[in-house]
């Protein structure tokens, strides 16, 4: 399935590096999300964008900076991360139409390791 | 108290067995309920939505009890390919405006053995 794609699939970075995660959805959806999934913990919502406007930031540290240039693309810019930020970062999208269900479709994720 | 709480698992069952997963949620205003499936090192995928009237999709049956704030998933005649982590998911916010806010349970791991 290629509805929601993410790059890179794997990333290893040092604490002083700056990197970006990319997400693209081909479903014509209006809402996009970043989630963090750590080992043995539930998915944690990080950011929600609706029609390219950020509508929620769940108290995420400023070392994570999202960007949504259009309704199909979402980025997560990373800088000065900590080892505890190592996790699977998942992007998702949904229709965001009150007339439809709010099912979210996930990308394959970027597995991030911070050394 | 966790917003969404699932059976801790893991469940190990033989092929052909029937297995049931339970989930409770804390916010009575929750509007939408789902079961997602996540295979090892893969992304979550929607398995089925859960409706008050209950719904069935082949070997899978989902039930919702709003009064008890309880959701269940029943898998009959389990297959090896059913081995995965099953995530109970609730739209706590209840609003469909400005993006949906799903809250995930920790998941229950199922292994179906030959």
Q: Does B100 touch chain A (CB under 8 A)?
A: yes
**Nearest CB partner across the interface for B91, out of A49, A102, A108:** A102
How far apart are alpha carbons B71 and A73 in whole angstroms? 34
Contact B106, A40 (CB under 8 A): yes
Average of per-residue pLDDT across B4-22: 94
pLDDT at A86: 96
Interval A74-111: pLDDT, tens: 999 999 999 999 999 999 998 875 445 578 899 999 99
Helix (H) or strand (E) holding A32: strand A31-37
Residues of chain A with Cβ-Cβ distance to B104 below 8 Å are: 42-43
Contact B112, B79 (CB under 8 A): yes
Which tokens belong to A51?
């029609």
Helix, strand counts (H, E) of chain A: 0, 11
How far apart are alpha carbons B31 and B9 in whole angstroms? 26
């Amino acid at each position: 399935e290629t509805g929601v794609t993410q790059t890179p699939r794997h990333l290893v970075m040092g604490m002083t590096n700056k990197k970006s995660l990319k997400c693209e959805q081909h479903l014509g959806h209006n809402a996009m999300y970043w989630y963090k999934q750590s080992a043995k913990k539930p998915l944690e919502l990080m950011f929600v964008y609706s029609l390219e406007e950020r509508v929620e930031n769940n108290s995420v540290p400023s070392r994570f900076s999202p960007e949504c240039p259009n309704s199909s693309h979402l980025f997560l810019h990373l800088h000065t991360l900590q080892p505890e930020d190592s996790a699977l970062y998942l992007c998702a999208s949904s229709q965001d139409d009150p007339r439809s269900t709010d099912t979210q479709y996930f990308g394959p994720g970027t597995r991030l390791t911070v050394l | 108290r966790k917003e969404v709480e699932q059976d801790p698992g893991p469940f190990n069952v033989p092929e052909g067995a029937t297995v049931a997963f339970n989930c409770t949620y804390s916010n009575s205003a929750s509007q939408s309920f789902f079961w997602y499936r996540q295979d090892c090192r893969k992304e979550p995928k929607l398995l089925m939505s859960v409706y008050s009237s209950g719904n069935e999709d082949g070997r899978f049956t989902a039930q919702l009890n709003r009064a008890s704030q309880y959701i269940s998933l029943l898998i009959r005649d389990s297959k090896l390919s059913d081995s995965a982590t099953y995530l109970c998911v609730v739209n706590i916010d209840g609003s469909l405006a400005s993006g949906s806010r799903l809250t995930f349970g920790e998941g229950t791991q199922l292994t179906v053995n030959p």
